[in-house]
Amino acid sequence: MMTAIAPPQSGQRLALLIQYQGTHFHGWQRQVGQRTVQEVIEQAIASVVNHPVSVVAAGRTDTGVHAAGQVAHVTVNSPIPAHRWPGILNARLPADVVIRAAAVVPDHWHARFSALWRRYRYTLYTDPCPNIFLRPWTWHYYYAPLDVEKMAAVLQPLLGRHHLSAFHRSGSNRAHSWVEVQDVSCQRRGALVEIEVQASGFLYGMMRLLVGLLVQVGQGQRSPASFTEIWQQEQRHLVKYAAPPTGLCLLGVGYPESPFPLALCTEAMPQFVTPELSIA
């Protein structure tokens, strides 16, 4: 069992804007014997301030999941000004993690509990021809054509506050499955299909389970009515397939007053481009 690291009794609280490629990480959360994003960032900070630190993220991404705009906070005993922290930490971090910005925030500000929303994008690459540059960031799904308009339409009833236990993996210590879904979209751009969901919070495994079921609708294996009935009737046993983690990316996190300029956050949201190919 892991022992929590107590934050320093005094010091400044920093908000961090973080990007990482999740391919070689066992998720965000610190775990004994596993390489995690939280651990490598905490080690980098501790090497500067010479005391243990605990970095708290807005959301705990799973193994293999990426982040374009993860936000976290940490309290440090250090006179180093906020604008210098990204350069100092990036010199100590591995190549698959980047601190894009840092800002001083009030002591009561919390990366997780102060957040209003999180936004995820899942990307599928549908051309049969492999693309090595897209492989780490997408699900190469070419087995059957996808009806993207049908997929987009079936997402709309998810808007609002719902009990989404059908998309909740076991192993979570969350006491309930209520989620306020604020925005949804599904669109095709060339050979890519992009599914985005913005919500107050996300359940453990929610996006990957949702995409797995949504793809069944797109390929005609499941009807739109069946998709909606499954989550409305909380039929978790019928959601059998989770999309692979490679296509999932945490795009950003929203706050009443963001510690970072809006442009800095939105420009961090990657969007791949493929030629307009003839796809089945």
Write the pLDDT tens digit of every residue in 122-179. 999 999 999 999 999 999 999 899 999 999 999 999 999 999 999 998 866 677 889 9
Q: Which two tokens stand for residue 101?
A: 């910005």
User: Is residue 4's pLDDT more than 80?
Assistant: no
CA 239, 207, 40 angle in degrees (round to 5)? 130
SS3 content of the chain, % helix, strand, coil (to 5): 25, 25, 50
Give the whole-angstrom CA distance, residue 196 versus residue 123: 9
C-alpha dihedral (258, 22, 183, 147), degrees to nearest 10: 160
CATH fold for the domain made of 117-256: Alpha-Beta Plaits (3.30.70)
Give per-residue pLDDT as tens, 83-102. Answer: 999 999 999 999 999 999 99
Within 10 Å of residue 50's Cβ, how many Cβ atoms?
Answer: 8
Rg (CA), the chain: 19
pLDDT at 164: 95
Q: Which two tokens stand for residue 126?
A: 């549908």
Q: Which residues fall within 8 angstroms of residue 106, CB to CB, at 6 or more apart?
A: 13
Q: Is 125 annotated as a binding residue?
A: no
Of the chain, the percentage scoring pLDDT greater than 90 comes to 85
Give the whole-angstrom CA distance, residue 73 versus residue 101: 12
Q: What is the pTM assigned to this prediction?
A: 0.92
pLDDT at 279: 44
Helix axis angle, 148-155 to 206-218, nearest 10°? 130
Alpha helices in 162-260 (DSSP H): 206-218, 224-232
Asked if residues 196 and 119 have their Cβ atoms less than 8 Å apart, the reply is yes
- Catalytic site positions: 62
Mean pLDDT, rounded, for 21-48: 97
Give the whole-angstrom CA distance, residue 55 versus residue 111: 10
Give the whole-angstrom CA distance, residue 276 versus residue 53: 48
Asked if residues 145 and 280 have their Cβ atoms less than 8 Å apart, the reply is yes
Give the whole-angstrom CA distance, residue 202 versus residue 181: 9
Domain edges within the chain: 12-104, 117-256
Assign domain 12-104 to a CATH class. Answer: alpha beta
pLDDT at 251: 94
CA distances from 30 to 13, 55, 144 (A): 20, 10, 38
CA-closest candidate to residue 24, choices 122, 96, 120, 121: 96
CA-closest candidate to residue 146, choices 125, 165, 160, 167: 125
Same fold: 12-104 with 117-256: yes
Please identify which residue in the block is written with the tokens 């501790």. Answer: 46
CA-closest candidate to residue 235, choices 152, 156, 166: 166
Could you tell me whether strands 248-254 and 139-140 are parallel, antiparallel, or unpaired per DSSP bridges? unpaired
Q: Which two tokens stand for residue 199?
A: 């919500």
